[in-house]
Amino acid sequence: MIALVLAAAAALFLLGLFAALAGTARVGRRTVYGTSLALCAAGAIVAGLSLFRGPGNVVLPIGLPWLGAHFRLDALSACFLGIVYVGGTGASLYALGYGRHEHEQQRVLPFYPAFLGGMSLVIVADDAFSFLFAWEVMSLTSWALVMAHHRGPSNVRAGFIYLLMATMGSLALLLAFGLLAGAASNYGFAAMRGAAHPTAALVLALTLLGAGSKAGLVPLHVWLPLAHPAAPSHVSALMSGVMTKVAIYAFIRIVFDLMGPPDWWWSVPVLSLGGTTAAVGVLYALMERDLKRLLAYSTIENIGVVFAGLGLALAFRANAMLTAEALALTAALFHAFNHMLFKSVLFFGAGTVQVATGELNIERLGGLIHRMPVSSAAVLTACLAASALPPLNGFASEWLLFQSVLVSPDLPQWGLKLLVPTAGTLLALAAAFAAACFVRGFGITYLGRQRSAAGEHATEADRFSLAAMLIFAALCVVIGLLPGLAIDALARAVQGVVGARMPAQLSLPWLSIVPIDNGRSSYNGLMIFVFTLISAMLVAFAVHRLAARGVRRAALWDCGYPGLGQASQYSAASLSQPIRRVFGSYVFRSSEVVTMPPPGEIGPARIRKQSHDLAWESLYVPVTAAVNWVSGLLDHMQFLSIRRYLSFVFAALVGLLLALALWQ
């Protein structure tokens, strides 16, 4: 199986190289995206079969001379390889239609398959050199895809910040692997597993910095809302739904596999960052008007949910609570897969809206459900899943996570007894705000009346885009109705990491899922769906059969206004105003600037809302200012005289001699 995965990755790299050499004049989107679709579909099948097989290893005579390139496919890597290839299959299918509207194909086509190949190699790498090489390929190809529309000044800034964050994350992972290798310089993962790691605290911090920056943990999230709007929509879907999961895999592989048994305090920063990221991400999403930026902040929220589950799993592992650890890790992996599904649909939907209207500002949209009914149905399904509403897949995975939170009173450490309920409260707050966020996003975009001329000529998306959206939306429904299928499929990966697994779910009656035992909790998505369907049918029957048949016409109540126009609708800003008033002073430092017309002029007053990213302004802006200040000082050194240069050399020599004398 591992040989097939490496062959698929090599084929993707060769496809990208062929597209780069041939150019778009000879190689069209159908060749690149169609071949990528076939390779990703085959890879997804291989990943699914590998979940139920033993691990496979391959050593290639490349890489470091004394080490070679080690690759390994076990149940955990098969699980994340499935995320990569399923997400790549959907994105490639969508791109077959969306690519017709992409004006920079010559910059997208060569890097797209290489991006997929890089992500797959990260998953199966089994030594530090191969891992970091594949990680850099993934980072550089995704940066090239973000820079596809490089003529826009905002896109150039987004690419620059993304490259800086990617470089910082790679450096952190390089240092982490160096500490794990130790003085013996054992860069193979097998040697790291059996070694003692006295610098575990530093390795954990570096791993959080390296993997967290790629995943989007707060305050390392600043590149996501910049890069996602800059990239083409199918690339945004891969970066949000797939690449962030590769970063989660890196964290699990290092912390749960290579570092050995954890201490209980390891869970404290992971759980704290996870809960904070979930709450902050969804609050910023509620303030956004750009559809892709809204989805980017929603990704940050879901990454926080996954890391909260990983923090719980670390806490349970440190206290030898294997069943609870299996539950928390299953919830984290389950939500990672679910997020890939519904976030891909949402980014696909954003792409269809942009193609149909030329707009991503939701304040200028509205009424698209009448012109794009099929795509709006798929987006609505994904919005319900992202809002964690039953009976869809997003609810099933978050429900599992809350079940693991309810087990936390059995933890012996008082710090965790207080921290876990706090994180659970943040997760509950994030879940509630996520529902409000997608009511706002879908309602303003697809419902109501058109707010501008942008949607006057909107038409439904092409058949490839619709097929990708409908297939993934259907998977959201199927997995939500039958979550036991996904839980049992993930059990092999959890077993390989934890040494334990959740009870088998498919053998339970009525297709229920019972994470611990029947006396504590159970969930049946199919029963909720049937109950909802019957209730809707009864309501429809009551309305159509029992209501009065007479039709009475009267003037519409217009609240004292003579006509109901576009301005009388709720806007995105008005829907988020209550939350902005409550949290704005502390989270976004939001303010409202009122501009009144001059005396004697007739015109409306204007209210401009301003909000700020505290992480950017409190952390990155001061660092940038300090770097610029130091650079300005060092810039003068190139204009010094020869005597001053010699003085600096003499002073440095004296300082080194003094340091050597003190050392001896």
Nearest to 8 by CA among 120, 138, 94, 125: 120
Q: What is d(CA 99, CA 29) in angstroms, rounded to the nearest whole number?
A: 7
Give the model's pLDDT for residue 300: 94
Q: pLDDT at residue 563 above 60?
A: no
Return the biggest CA–CA distance within the chain.
103
Q: Choose the weakest-confidence range: 13-17, 71-75, 391-395.
A: 13-17
**pTM for the full predicted model:** 0.91
Q: What is d(CA 159, CA 50) in angstroms, rounded to the nearest whole number?
A: 36
Give the model's pLDDT for residue 156: 87
Q: pLDDT at residue 612 above 90?
A: no
Q: pLDDT at residue 134 above 60?
A: yes
Where do we find the tokens 């004296």? 654
The string of pLDDT tens digits covering residues 42-75 is 999 999 888 888 788 888 888 777 778 889 999 9
Q: What is d(CA 370, CA 443) in angstroms, rounded to the nearest whole number?
A: 13
Give the model's pLDDT for residue 540: 84
Q: Please tell me which of 428-432, 499-503, 512-516 the model is most confident about, judged by mean pLDDT.
A: 428-432
Domain borders along the chain are: 261-528, 614-663
DSSP three-state, residue 51: coil
Nearest-Å Rg of the Cα atoms of the chain is 27
Beta strand pairing call for 606-610 and 56-60: unpaired
Strand partners, 595: 606
Q: pLDDT at residue 561 above 60?
A: no
Q: pLDDT at residue 260 above 80?
A: yes
With a CB cutoff of 8 Å and minimum separation 6, the contacts of 92 are: 33, 34, 36, 37, 40, 234
Amino acid in the structure at residue 524: N
Nearest to 351 by CA among 99, 564, 606, 622: 99
Q: What is d(CA 599, CA 602) in angstroms, rounded to the nearest whole number?
A: 8
The angle subtended at Cα 595 by Cα 593 and Cα 597, nearest 5°, is: 170
Q: What is d(CA 382, CA 420) in angstroms, rounded to the nearest whole number?
A: 29
Which stretches of 319-372 are DSSP H helices?
Answer: 322-357, 368-371
SS3 sequence, 231-277? CCHHHHHHHHHHHHHHHHHHHHHHHHHHCCCCCHHHHHHHHHHHHHH
Give the model's pLDDT for residue 608: 66
How many CB atoms are located within 10 Å of the residue 495 CB?
15
Region 349-365 average pLDDT: 89
The answer to whether the beta carbons of residues 143 and 107 sit under 8 Å apart is no
The string of pLDDT tens digits covering residues 281-311 is 998 898 888 899 999 999 999 999 999 999 9
Q: Choose the weakest-confidence range: 64-73, 513-522, 654-663.
A: 513-522
Position with higher pLDDT, 488 vs 591: 488
The string of pLDDT tens digits covering residues 575-609 is 777 777 777 666 766 666 677 777 777 666 666 66
Give the model's pLDDT for residue 569: 72
Give the model's pLDDT for residue 552: 73
